[in-house]
A and B are shown apart, each in its own frame.
Chain A
């Protein structure tokens, strides 16, 4: 008989008993049949009951049988208080689900190792430096010639790998007409072999593909792209892919789970580094550099000498480079050279998404766990109250011989049942909510993509969480129960205040957590509101943006003719051209030199705009005139107020000149405009100048433009309605111009606040849940306390206590606890707010309304939650109470 049969016997205890009974019966019958006197046989057999009990305990896993009994009993207990049990399970499920979802996101973005060999030995190279505005900054991008020098210098200890960030690129598979977007990444040929990756199909890029510029027109598709774009077509090898004027041959498909090193973005196409024209430019820092330590080397000892070696190599390269900087102030060159090389572990991949969302996700995790804690405290309170109500039952159990271990098991079983039910529900919630949150992480047209697999890591976390909850919920009541002294309990109760004291402590804890959640939420929601309502200085109303490219470049006159054609379309009110849209992804700065002096330490952002751009954007002029068609760049400029204040303090800027570096042709300022946000809503105003769209070179000949954005003010409420016909209109002109992307200015502004919107939304959600749970908890505790003190209240009323006095004794200690919890929560809140201050916009934790808001919300909730209990206390009829006692 195996352990399994003992376990199954435990489940079918009755049948087992019958079987044993039958066997013993047959024994006696056998004895009688062989001539024994029936009475003598039965007597010799002894106590049948004892024999059966002894036999039963051998054939059954006793622990399991008692466990099953406890589970059944616990289930009946839960069913007896249906409403509270359902509330407990739901609130726990919400907490568990939120925590698991937060863990899934955090794990997928920040912790999960890349599916490569030795991810723990992968590092990324970065440089700490002093940034543009004197603040510490980091530069993680490298020039390929610099990278090549470092790769050769490190080749004995480590493999250096160059990988560019994924760029959403226009690609075509056949003709120019079916242009589509794909995430393209340039990698050095050693990436696939060093990562130990094997092709699914064909071959992967190899070090041989690193030979000279443009010599390896080969492309490798990622498995994901091959799957969703080509339906795993086995004949993909050899197909041609066009990017700009380059053509690539597909040579292979990558391994199934490798999606690149940029966590949050799934790479579609891998191209050799040397196929990008940037790869030969000394001063184009455009790709990241990774370092894979050779096997057998200890990171603790090998990294630091390697870092110093590479640092020296890179510094020598940049010192050589800086010799060609002409007319740069020495401070600028010093800043350029004064960098510190650092290695960061990159086993989980490296991406901007990680940087942007690290703190946000930490806050999300914190809020989720606080809500779970609040829910746990609620349920623990409920169980403490139930345990107190069952003190007599427990005392009875102990006096008739129940082991204390068995009693602890009984209580833990009940909490395990609760946790199990809640976890099952929570798993569903997490399965839905993690992808939901992820889908709101990035702008809708380019969503963040993470592999949110439900693997053993998530399972382990979930099970661990559940065990913690079981212990948290059950241990305290269980220990209390097992400490019951039967004599005292059966005589009429132990200290009746003990459970209430415990529950009051729980209230303080709950209020502290709730305050923390509310406090952080109000900070995030206010940040988002202020950011969203920030005055822009331009109008986004009905503005359509056609981001257009000319693959071989096109003269400004062609661009202007196209704009003219667009103007003729019905429904289009005005059309202007800018180099790129405001608040888009592009920002370019320029040195500013006044009167031929060396460039000032402050640089300015700039944007090329056509005449009429300011009026199309509804940006007013403070002084001066708009560009006219004769203005060229260099030549005329319009500056914003910060530019005027920075470079011409206390003077009238109009009519003055500046140049983009010393010995450059001058720009004459023709107008001043108010400040408008340039590339980031959060940034304070920076100096910005607008230059005419028509650029000329040093021989005054017009120079070609590769890309620009048509800004259209349309008559329709939804500007995107016109997009398709306008795109076709441009294509039909066959002048080399092609619309690459269509968007609206409103969407660009909205995309700026995606992260703030997400955090504010989640924080508000958690705040509501926390407040609701805390309110329910408070109500339950007060109600229980009033019920328990019914006798005392009755006597007080009978001997003439006033109503105010009754209200005081019922609520005083609760309000004390709430005040205590609130203060603790505020202290915690200040600590937490310091950590995430970088996520706030024009909000400080010390603002009075940031504290007043949560305090008010808690106060209101308290009033609502205490009212029923207070009313019940006041309605206590002393005669009824005293008669019933």
Chain B
């Protein structure tokens, strides 16, 4: 089983929002999709997934409704709201800035060590 990596604080929200841009999904689906896309590097503990979903819902970025899954079971589906979309854009911009900043710091360190 591949090594899982701890998530940086706050990135879980970003991942969930990004995952939900494609289609409405239920909790299990969100966790699976993140795991697949990250090639099993990122495994979301259910203990943090649902609180995160409820938090996003409280903030008004996603909405939920009960639907029937492809396996013919009742499940709660989450979808992105308009404000959620805007928030995602803002968070993506922040993330880009942050990651490039980290990259440049780490790049400098790599040069120094070489």
Contact = CB atoms under 8 A, between A and B. Distances in A.
Interface of A: 1-2, 6, 20, 22-24, 26-27, 29-31, 33-34, 44-47, 50-51, 54-55, 58-59
A58 B55 contact: yes
A46 B71 contact: no
A19 to B, nearest CB: 8
Contacts of B74: 22, 26
Contacts of B69: 26, 30
B28 A1 contact: no
A51 B69 CA distance: 22
Contacts of A51: 46-47, 50-51
A215 to B, nearest CB: 72
A61 to B, nearest CB: 10
Contacts of A23: 27, 50, 75-76
Contacts of B55: 58
Given A23-B76, A34-B32, A59-B58, A50 B47 contact: yes
B45 interface: yes
Contacts of B33: none
Contacts of B71: 30, 33
Given A1-B58, A54-B51, A30 B28 contact: yes
A44 B46 contact: yes
A46 B60 contact: no
Nearest to B59: A1
13 contacts: A1-B57, A22-B74, A26-B69, A26-B75, A27-B26, A27-B27, A30-B69, A30-B73, A33-B73, A46-B47, A51-B47, A54-B47, A55-B51
Contacts of B58: 1, 6, 58-59
A45 B46 contact: yes
Nearest to A3: B58
* Most chain B CB neighbours (cut-off 10 Å) among A22, A27, A50: A27
What band does the interface of chain B fall in when counting residues whose beta carbon is under 8 Å from A?
A: 20 to 34
Interface string B44-86: 0111001100110110100000000101011110000000000
Nearest to A24: B50
A31 B29 CA distance: 9
Contacts of A58: 51, 54-55, 58
8 A-B pairs with the lowest CB-CB distances in the bound complex, closest first: A30-B28, A58-B54, A54-B51, A26-B75, A1-B58, A1-B57, A33-B71, A27-B28
B75 A55 contact: no
B47 A30 contact: no
A118 B47 CA distance: 64
Given A26-B74, A51-B51, A58-B58, 13 more contacts: A23-B76, A26-B28, A26-B73, A26-B75, A26-B76, A30-B69, A30-B71, A47-B47, A50-B47, A51-B46, A54-B47, A55-B54, A58-B54
B48 to A, nearest CB: 8
A27 B45 CA distance: 12
Contacts of A47: 47
* Most chain B CB neighbours (cut-off 10 Å) among A30, A46, A59: A30
Contacts of B47: 46-47, 50-51, 54
A58 to B, nearest CB: 4
B46 A46 contact: yes
A124 to B, nearest CB: 59
Contact of A24 (B46, B57, B73): B46
A1 B46 CA distance: 21
Nearest to B76: A23
A55 B50 contact: yes
Given A2-B60, A6-B58, A27 B46 contact: yes
B33 to A, nearest CB: 12
B72 to A, nearest CB: 9
Given A23-B76, A27-B27, A58-B58, A46 B45 contact: yes
A35 to B, nearest CB: 11
Contacts of B46: 24, 27, 44-46, 51
A43 to B, nearest CB: 11
A29 B60 CA distance: 28
Contact of A1 (B29, B60, B76): B60
Contacts of A34: 28, 32
A27 to B, nearest CB: 5
Contacts of A24: 46, 50
Contacts of A33: 71, 73
A30 B75 contact: yes
Nearest to B70: A33
Contacts of A45: 46
B60 A31 contact: no
A31 B50 contact: no
Contacts of A59: 54, 58
B51 A31 contact: no
A47 B75 CA distance: 20
* Most chain A CB neighbours (cut-off 10 Å) among B27, B28, B71: B28
Nearest to B72: A33
A30 B69 CA distance: 9
A64 to B, nearest CB: 14
A51 B46 CA distance: 7
Nearest to A52: B50
Contacts of A1: 54, 57-58, 60
Contacts of B26: 26-27, 30
Contacts of B73: 26, 29-30, 33
Contacts of B50: 20, 23-24, 27, 51, 54-55
A58 B74 CA distance: 23
A44 B29 CA distance: 15
B40 to A, nearest CB: 13
A33 B32 CA distance: 13
A30 B26 CA distance: 10
A133 B28 CA distance: 98
Contacts of B29: 30
B71 to A, nearest CB: 5
Contacts of A26: 26, 28, 69, 73-76
A699 B26 CA distance: 116
A30 B51 CA distance: 19
Nearest to B32: A34
Contacts of B51: 51, 54-55, 58
Contacts of A54: 47, 50-51
A767 B96 CA distance: 78
Contacts of B76: 23, 26
Contacts of B75: 23, 26-27, 30
A34 B29 CA distance: 10
B92 to A, nearest CB: 24
A29 B58 CA distance: 26
Contacts of A55: 50-51, 54
B52 to A, nearest CB: 9
* Most chain A CB neighbours (cut-off 10 Å) among B45, B54, B73: B54
A1 B54 CA distance: 8
A1 to B, nearest CB: 5
Contacts of B57: 1
A570 to B, nearest CB: 91
Nearest to A45: B46
Interface in B1-44: 26-29, 32
